[in-house]
Chain A
Amino acid sequence: MTSISSSSAASAASGSTASASTTRTDSLLPEGSEHLASQESADAHHDARLFGLATFLVADGMTFAGFFAAYLTFRAVNPLPEGSTYELELLLPTINTVLLLVSSFTFHRAGQACRADQLSKARSWLLVTGGLGLAFLAGQMVEYFTLPFGLTDNLFASTFYALTGFHGLHVTLGAICIGIVALQTRPGGAISASSHFGLEAAELYWHFVDGIWVVLYGILYLL
C-alpha cells in the first residue's frame, strides 16, 4: 500500500516515543530513523517483487526437479522395449544449448545498457536475445519433426516430450516477456534507467530457464 508514505511526521514521532518509553533498549529504532518506517513502502516493495519472483522460481524449479527425478527413476528401473534406445542426435540440441547460453549473455548486456541509461542499446540487445530464443524454439520444432519416435512410443519418448515440452513452454513465455520488455524500452515506454523492474524480472526468469535447460541437456542428451 503506497499511501503509507503519507503518514504524518507527527504520528511517526508519537508512536516511536510511546515505544521508546517502555520497550527494551535492544529493540529501539536509532534516533532519527522514523523516516525509515514511513518510507519503507516504495523501496521495500520494489525489493520484494524480485524476491517474490525468485521464490516463485524456486517453486517452478521444484516442478522440473520432480520431472527429472521421475525420468532418472524410470531410466534406472524400467527397461525399454526391444529396439528402443536412449540415444539421441546430438548436433542440433548442442547448437540449441549454445544459442540459449549466448542469449543469457546478451540479456545480461541488455540489463547493463538499461542501467547505464542507454535504452536504444538495451533494446537492440533485447531483440538479439529474443531472436536467439525464437531460434531455439525453431530448432526444437525441427528436432521434434525429425525424431524417430512419437509421444506414446515408449516411456523414454513420453518423458522426453514432457520434459522438453514443459521447458519449451517456459522459453515461449520468456520470448513473449522479452518482446513486451523490448516494447517498453522505446522512448516514453514504461522502462527507464531508474525504473526497470520488468526488465530485471524477465532477465532473472530467462537465466532460470537457461539454467534448467543445461541440466535437462545433461541428463536427457548426454547421460
Chain B
Amino acid sequence: MTVATPRDLEPQLQEPLQPAGWLRYFSFSLDHKVIGLQYLVCGFFFYLVGGLLAGAIRTELATPLSDFMPRDTYNEVLTLHGTVMIFLWIVPVVNGAFGNYLIPFYVGARDMAFPRLNAVAFWMIPPAGLLLISSYFLAGAAAQSGWTAYPPLSLTTPAAGQIVWILSVLLLGGSSIFGAVNFIATVLKLRRPGLKLMQLPMYCWAMLGTSLLVVLSTPVLAGVLILLSFDIIAHTGFFNPALGGNVVVYQHLFWFYSHPAVYIMVLPAFGLVSEILPVHSRKPLFGYTTMVYSIMAIVFLGLIVWAHHMFTSGTPPWMRLFFTIATSFIAVPTGIKFFNWLATLWGGKIALNSAMLFSCGFILNFVFGGITGITLAQVPFDIHVHDTYYVVGHFHYIVYGGTVFVIFASLYHWYPKFTGHLLNEDLGRLHFVLTFIGFNLCFLPQHWLGLNGMPRRVAEYDPTFSTLNQVSSVGALIMAISTLPLLINVVVTALYGTPAGDNPWNALTPEWLTTSPPPVENWSGEAPLVTEPYGYGQHQPAGPSSHPLTPAA
C-alpha cells in the first residue's frame, strides 16, 4: 500500500545530519517516532531498576525482622522505588513514549509542533534518572523520606540525598511540562485541515486532558519543592514547625500535583486501551462522545480532590465533607468509561491475543482499584486505613494493574508498527498469565494486611502479619519472573521474527495506514484523512487492500 511519489526519489529531504540505523536512537533526533522509542526504551530500563528495588523491598518484608538490609537502606530503597517507577517509568512511557509516537499520526502531522523542544524534554530524563540513582552511591545516603518527601521528615533525613532527589524531580517535572506544552499545541494547532476535534482517536483526547493536568499542576510541585530546598539548604522555616512553619501547607501543595499525577498516569492508559479494544473486538468504540466528556470531567474533578490524601492531617470538617463528595463523584465519569469498554467488547469478534488479554486484565484490575479508591474517599474508613498497606494495595491496583498492564498491551499492539515484526503470541500469553497471577498474589493480600493495621513504609512488622506478607512476596517473585518471557520475546523477535506487514491487525487508525516502520515524515504521500478511526464492521470488511481509508490504493 505504499504510494510511490516524487518524494521517494528525494532522500536528501530527510535530516542529513542524523546518524542512520540504531545509532539514531542515541542521537538528538527530532523525529517524533525516534523520540517516542527513546522514551519507551529508557523508561523500560528504569522499570527494571525500579523492579529490582521492589524485589529488595519484598525480600525484606518476607520476614518480620529487618534482616535483609539495614532500616536506613530500606527507607532509601523504598523512596527510590516510588520515585523511579512514577517519574522515570510510568509518566514518561505512558505519556512521552506512546504520545510522541502516535499523536502526530492521529492529527495527520509529520511531526510534533516543537520537535526541538521535544528532543530537549526527552534528553532531560536520562541525566535526571542517573542523578537520582547515583545519590545512593555519591551523596552518602539517598533520600529516605518516601516519594512524598513530607516535612519535617524530609528535613531530618540526610540532606544531600534529599537535595539530589529534589533536583532530579524538578528536572523530570520540567521535562513533563515541556512535553505537555508540545502535546497541547500539536493536538489543537497541528490537526490537518478538515479533521475535527470530535473525529480524533480517543488517545488524543486523553493526552489533551493529561497535558492540561500537567500544565496546571506540575508547576505547583516545582514551587513547593523549591521552598522545601530552601528549608534544607538555607534553613528557612516554611515547613519547619520549630521555626513557625506549616507542614500542612506542604501537603496541600504536594497533593495539588500528586493527586492529578494519578490521572497523568492513568488517563493516557484509558486512551490507549480505547484504541486497542475496538481493533481486537472488531467493533466501534462504544460511546465516543461520553468518553470525551468523561475525560474532561476527570480532568476537572482531578484538580479539586487533592485533600482526600490528608484526612488525618487535622483537616477541618467542611473540607473533609467537600473532598469526600468531590472524590466520590469521580466514580461517575470513570464508571462511564468502564461500561463503555465493556459495551465495546459486548458482541464483538474478540481476538484473545496478548494485547487483548492485557487490556482485559487492565479493566478487571482497574475496577477493583477504583472500588477500593471509593472506600478510601470515605473519611471514617480512611482514618482507619490511612498509612497502612490497604493504601499500598489500592494504588498498585491503579498504577500497576491499571497503567502498567496497558503499557504491556500497547507494547504487543504497536510493536509491529515500531519494528515491522509481530511479538510471539505464546510468549505473550505466558507473560500475561504470569503477570496477572503474580500481580494479584502480590497486592491483593495487602488489603487484608492494611485492614488489620500493618503500617506502610516500615521495614519491620508484627509476626502475626507474616503469612500474608510471604504470599505477597511470592507474588512479587512471580512478577519478577514474568519479565523474562517479555525480554526473551523481544530478543527472539529481533533475531527470528517474521515480517508483520504494514497493518497486521487490519486497524483503521491513521498510524496503520503507512508502512511499518513508518518513513521519516510518516507518509510518503499525503496523510490519509481518517474521519472514522473506529469504523469497524460498519460499511465493508476491513483489510489492508480493501478497506476504504487507504491513501490512493
A interface SS class: helix
Supposing A1-B115, A78-B244, A80-B244 touch, asked if A18 and B218 sit within 8 A by C-beta, the answer is no
Question: In the bound complex, do residue A11 and residue B3 qualify as a contact, i.e. CB atoms below 8 Å apart?
Answer: yes
Question: In the bound complex, do residue A19 and residue B223 qualify as a contact, i.e. CB atoms below 8 Å apart?
Answer: no
A15-B552, A16-B529, A70-B224 given; name 16 further pairs at CB < 8 Å: A1-B115, A7-B525, A8-B7, A12-B526, A14-B551, A15-B528, A19-B531, A19-B549, A23-B531, A59-B181, A64-B223, A65-B220, A69-B253, A73-B246, A74-B246, A155-B244
Contact with B along A195-211 (1 / 0, CB 8 A): 00000000000000000
Residue of B117, B181, B182, B528 with most partner-chain A CB within 10 A = B181
Question: In the bound complex, do residue A66 and residue B256 qualify as a contact, i.e. CB atoms below 8 Å apart?
Answer: yes
A36 is an interface residue with CB less than 8 A from chain B: yes
Question: In the bound complex, do residue A151 and residue B234 qualify as a contact, i.e. CB atoms below 8 Å apart?
Answer: yes
A146 is an interface residue with CB less than 8 A from chain B: no
Report how many residues on chain A are interfacial, defined by Cβ distance under 8 Å: 63
* Neighbouring B residues of A14 by C-beta, 8 Å: 3, 525-526, 551-552
Bound Cα distance A73, B256 (Å): 15
A28 is an interface residue with CB less than 8 A from chain B: yes
Supposing A70-B224, A152-B236 touch, asked if A48 and B114 sit within 8 A by C-beta, the answer is yes
A194 is an interface residue with CB less than 8 A from chain B: no
* Neighbouring A residues of B193 by C-beta, 8 Å: 29, 33, 36-37, 40
Question: In the bound complex, do residue A3 and residue B525 qualify as a contact, i.e. CB atoms below 8 Å apart?
Answer: no
26 residue pairs from A and B, CB less than 8 Å apart: A1-B111, A6-B10, A10-B5, A14-B3, A14-B526, A16-B529, A23-B549, A27-B531, A29-B194, A37-B192, A37-B193, A40-B192, A47-B189, A51-B185, A52-B117, A52-B181, A52-B185, A55-B180, A59-B214, A63-B223, A67-B223, A70-B249, A77-B246, A152-B237, A155-B238, A162-B236
Contact with A along B162-203 (1 / 0, CB 8 A): 000000000000000100111011101110111110010000
Bound Cα distance A6, B10 (Å): 11
* Neighbouring A residues of B182 by C-beta, 8 Å: 52
A159 is an interface residue with CB less than 8 A from chain B: yes
A216 to chain B, nearest CB (A): 14
A positions within 8 Å CB-CB of B: 1, 3-4, 6-8, 10-12, 14-19, 22-24, 27-29, 33, 36-38, 40-41, 44-45, 47-49, 51-52, 55-56, 58-67, 69-70, 73-74, 77-81, 151-152, 154-155, 158-159, 162, 166
B399 to chain A, nearest CB (A): 24
* Neighbouring A residues of B115 by C-beta, 8 Å: 1
Supposing A29-B193, A59-B215, A152-B237 touch, asked if A78 and B113 sit within 8 A by C-beta, the answer is no
* Neighbouring B residues of A73 by C-beta, 8 Å: 246, 249, 252
* Neighbouring B residues of A4 by C-beta, 8 Å: 110, 521
Bound Cα distance A45, B226 (Å): 34
B25 is an interface residue with CB less than 8 A from chain A: no
B187 to chain A, nearest CB (A): 11
Supposing A48-B113, A51-B189 touch, asked if A22 and B549 sit within 8 A by C-beta, the answer is yes
Bound Cα distance A129, B111 (Å): 37
Contact with A along B523-553 (1 / 0, CB 8 A): 0011111011000000000000000111111
Which among B114, B252, B548 is the interface contact of A52 at CB below 8 angstroms?
B114
* Neighbouring A residues of B13 by C-beta, 8 Å: 3, 6
CB-based nearest A residue for B547: A22
- Closest 6 pairs between A and B when the two form their complex, measured CB to CB: A15-B526, A22-B548, A66-B220, A27-B531, A66-B223, A11-B525
* Neighbouring B residues of A45 by C-beta, 8 Å: 113
Bound Cα distance A58, B177 (Å): 11
- B residues 235-253 near A (Cβ < 8 Å) are 235-238, 243-246, 249, 252-253
Question: In the bound complex, do residue A70 and residue B111 qualify as a contact, i.e. CB atoms below 8 Å apart?
Answer: no
* Neighbouring B residues of A18 by C-beta, 8 Å: 528, 550-553
Question: In the bound complex, do residue A48 and residue B220 qualify as a contact, i.e. CB atoms below 8 Å apart?
Answer: no
Question: In the bound complex, do residue A55 and residue B185 qualify as a contact, i.e. CB atoms below 8 Å apart?
Answer: yes
Bound Cα distance A60, B174 (Å): 11
Question: In the bound complex, do residue A15 and residue B525 qualify as a contact, i.e. CB atoms below 8 Å apart?
Answer: yes
B430 is an interface residue with CB less than 8 A from chain A: no
B100 is an interface residue with CB less than 8 A from chain A: no
Which among B111, B244, B256, B527 is the interface contact of A154 at CB below 8 angstroms?
B244
* Neighbouring B residues of A16 by C-beta, 8 Å: 526, 529
Supposing A6-B7, A27-B196, A73-B246 touch, asked if A1 and B110 sit within 8 A by C-beta, the answer is yes
Question: In the bound complex, do residue B190 and residue A7 qualify as a contact, i.e. CB atoms below 8 Å apart?
Answer: no
